[in-house]
A = this chain, B = another copy of it.
């Protein structure tokens, strides 16, 4: 039930993580607690579903970006990917603390994202081997690039010092990624 997932997000935004209880979520979603348990076996399942939904959204954006820049040079693609990543994480920023707090780290679908991201970058890099100085393992390259993009996007969005604009931070992330793939 999408309504429940949205309710959880709304509760976090308005009342904080501590206010997220199954009963409150049902109430805000406008359904009965009984109905919530018709669709989710337990509380965890709600957060896992939320997680999966979020990952799917991000994944969709990634895929779209990949397709749209299929013919673009590596630099442009990377810039687009970073933009996409930051864009994807900009909506519902409160999701991060929530999921970090509530989703068990080996939960269903959690690691999927790393795999999917890794896969996406492997694909992207595979078709551009001529632009890479590194002759090294594509897997290794994709692993680093995926983590670079993911982690630095997060950092740019959430941990960037106040003196740095988001645009500047993005440029720096791109610089780091390109420096790596070109070295």
Please report A residues at the B interface, Cβ cutoff 8 Å.
97, 100-102, 104-105, 114, 118, 139-140, 143-144, 147-148, 151-152, 154-155, 159-161, 163-164, 168-169, 172-173, 175-176, 178-180, 182-183
Contacts and interface: CB of A to CB of B under 8 A. Distances in A.
Count this chain's copies in the assembly. 4
Contacts of A155: 143, 147, 151
22 contacts: A97-B105, A100-B100, A100-B101, A101-B101, A139-B164, A140-B172, A143-B161, A143-B164, A143-B169, A144-B173, A144-B176, A147-B152, A147-B155, A148-B148, A148-B151, A151-B151, A151-B152, A175-B180, A176-B176, A176-B179, A178-B183, A179-B182
